[in-house]
A = this chain, B = another copy of it.
Amino acid sequence: MNIEQVTDGELSILEVIWEQEAPTSRDIAAANYKQVNDSKMASVQKLLERLEAKGCVGRDRRERAHRFHALVSREDFLHDRLRALANRLYDGSIAPLVTTLLRSKGLSKKNRNQLRELIDELWPSEK
């Protein structure tokens, strides 16, 4: 399950799989390209093949047109990327990431209250 080396183009494929339920390669191509032709289809297949090799996508071959499902969730993906960042920049410590996010704009009041609740929910004993 090699999330780290998922390409930008591959990620576009993944996102469609996350949003749709067991799409075929044609469904994915239709979601990613305005105009789908044979070579675009082949591109999608190639990206799917690589995603499968990286263990991020599974394939159901029962139907003529294979149906694809994610073996890695959007949350898994995010988690992995965040960890990679922490490893690279802060020797694995994730606290700097949290504080940076909390300090950045874009958190609504509602979000902040949700975060407080989340902290209390995850570690109630420390309340």
Contact = CB atoms under 8 A, between A and B. Distances in A.
B115 A99 contact: yes
Interface in A74-115: 74-75, 77-79, 81-83, 85-86, 88-90, 92-104, 106-107, 109, 111-115
Copies of this protein in the assembly total 2
A contact face: mostly helix, strand, loop, or mixed:
helix
Q: How large is the interface on A (under 10, 10 to 19, 20 to 34, 35 or more residues)?
A: 35 or more
Contacts of A100: 75, 78-79, 82
Interface of A: 11, 74-75, 77-79, 81-83, 85-86, 88-90, 92-104, 106-107, 109, 111-116, 118-119, 122-123, 126
Contacts of A107: 94-95, 98
